[in-house]
Amino acid sequence: MRPDEKTRSRAAKFSRSDAQMMMPHPLRLDLTKRYSVFNHSSTALNTKPRRTVLLLGATGYLGQFVQLALGSVPSILLINKGGSRDLDFTKPWDDDNLGKDDIVVDVVVNCAAVSQPGECAKDPERARLVNVPRGLVEWIARRKNNKPLLIHLSTDHVYEGTRSFYKETDEVNPVNHYGATKVEAERLIRSLYPCRHVILRSSIIIGPQAPITPVNRPLLLQFIQTALASGKPTSFFDDEWRCPVSVHDVVDVITACTLRAEEFEHAGETFNLGGPERLSRADMAEIVSDLCGLDRSLIQRVSALTVNRGVKSPTDISMDSSKIEGFLGRRLTSFKETARRCLSERIGT
C-alpha cells in the first residue's frame, strides 16, 4: 500500500455518516460554563480505566482550558507542568523532572510552545528549542514498559497558504519560522514515535478569556468587539483566510483522544483542527459587529500587504477538518456560534 493510500484508509476509519454527525456527542462541552467545563453524566466515564495525563504548557491559553476540563473528569489523574518555570524546554532535558520509568503516564498533552509567529521570528533559536520538543519525545520513546499517547499541538501554519481547504495529506511548506518549527516537530514525532501519537494542526483558537489567568495578548473576538465598540474605524485584513476554531472544540478533541487513547495504539494520526468556515479577519469583524449590534461601517477592509508585521504570514491556510469531525462524531462549532456564546456576557444577551 502506498503511503498516501495508507493515510486515506486511516482517514476512512474516522469518517461518519451525516446522521451520526448530528447525534449529540457525550463529551460535548457547555460553552456557557467557564469553570465547570464538562456538561455530561460522569457515569460512562467512571467506568473507563483510570488514566494519568501529563499536561505541558498548562499556564498557556489552551493549557488552562485543558487543565480544567481534564481535571474535572473523575477517571483522569492530571499532572500539570505549567510552562517554563516548571519544565523549561530550552534547558537540557532532565528525566528527574518528570520521574523516570517508575511514574506511569498514559497520555501526554503538549500545549507548550512559542505560539506567536512574531516571537518566533525575533528569537528563532528559542522558538526551535521549545517548538521542537526533542527531549520530551526522546523521553517518551525510550520508556520501556509504559508507552503513553502523545497529543501534540501543531498549527495551520505548516501549510504554504496558496490554496483553500488543505487536507492532512497535502504537502506542507511553511512560509515562516513558526510553521517551520512545527513541521520539524511533526517529523520528529513521526520518526521517533510512529505509533501512539496524535498531531492536531489547529487554526486560530477563539474563545473567552483564559479561565485561570488572563493571557497578556489580545484575543481575536474580544479585540474585534472592543475595537468596534470604541466607535473608531478599524482596519481588518480581507485577503488572508483562516478557519477559526472554538477553544471548547479543541478541548473536546483533546479529551476524546485522551479517553480513546487505545485507538491510536498501532498508528499515529494527524488531524486538521479548524472551524467549518473559511473567513478573513474582515469577515469575522462583520459577524461580530452584527452580533453585538455595532456599526459595520467602522470596518475598513484592507490588504494584508499594506502592513509590515515583521514576519511572513500565509495567505490562505483554510483547512478541511472533516477527518477530525468524523473522529469526534459531530460538526465543529461555527464562528458565529462561538462568538455569540463567548461575547454574550459582554453584549448582555
Contact stretch for ligand NAP (CB under 6 A) within 55-63, 261-269, 314-322, 327-335: 55-63
C-alpha cell at 287: 459577524
Residue with smaller CB distance to ligand NAP, 153 or 180: 153
Residue with smaller CB distance to ligand NAP, 45 or 254: 254
Q: Supply the angle between the helices 335-347 and 220-229 in degrees, to the nearest 10.
A: 50
Residue with smaller CB distance to ligand NAP, 162 or 213: 213
Confirm or reject binding of residue 89 to ligand NAP (CB under 6 A): yes
Q: Which of 115, 176, 272, 338 binds ligand NAP (CB under 6 A)?
A: 115
- For the beta sheet containing 107-110, the strands, ordered from the edge strand earlier in sequence to the opposite edge, are 76-81, 51-56, 107-110, 149-155, 197-202, 269-273
C-alpha cell at 315: 495567505
Residue with smaller CB distance to ligand NAP, 62 or 342: 62
Dihedrals φ, ψ of 202, to 5°?
-85, 145
Count of residues near ligand NAP by CB under 6 A: 25
CA–CA separation, 160 vs 121, rounded Å?
Answer: 17
Confirm or reject binding of residue 59 to ligand NAP (CB under 6 A): yes
Q: Which of 109, 112, 294, 342 binds ligand NAP (CB under 6 A)?
A: 112
C-alpha cell at 173: 511548506
Confirm or reject binding of residue 90 to ligand NAP (CB under 6 A): yes
Contact stretch for ligand NAP (CB under 6 A) within 52-60, 93-101, 317-325, 336-344: 52-60
CA–CA separation, 249 vs 341, rounded Å?
Answer: 13
Identify any residues that bridge with 29 across adjacent strands, giving them in sequence order. Answer: 38
Q: Which of 21, 72, 75, 88 binds ligand NAP (CB under 6 A)?
A: 88
Confirm or reject binding of residue 117 to ligand NAP (CB under 6 A): no
Least distance in angstroms from the C-beta of 268 to ligand NAP? 17
The DSSP string of 46-113 is HTSPPEEEEEESTTSHHHHHHHHHHHT-TTEEEEEE-STTTS-TTSPP-GGGT--TTS--SEEEE--S
Q: Which residue has the cell 505541558?
A: 56
The torsion of the CA quartet 120, 126, 131, 137, rounded to 10 degrees, works out to: 170
Q: Which of 52, 84, 173, 209 binds ligand NAP (CB under 6 A)?
A: 84
Residue with smaller CB distance to ligand NAP, 206 or 228: 206
Contact stretch for ligand NAP (CB under 6 A) within 26-34, 113-121, 137-145, 166-174: 113-121
Residues near ligand NAP (CB under 6 A): 57, 59-63, 83-85, 87-90, 111-115, 130, 153, 155, 202, 204-205, 215
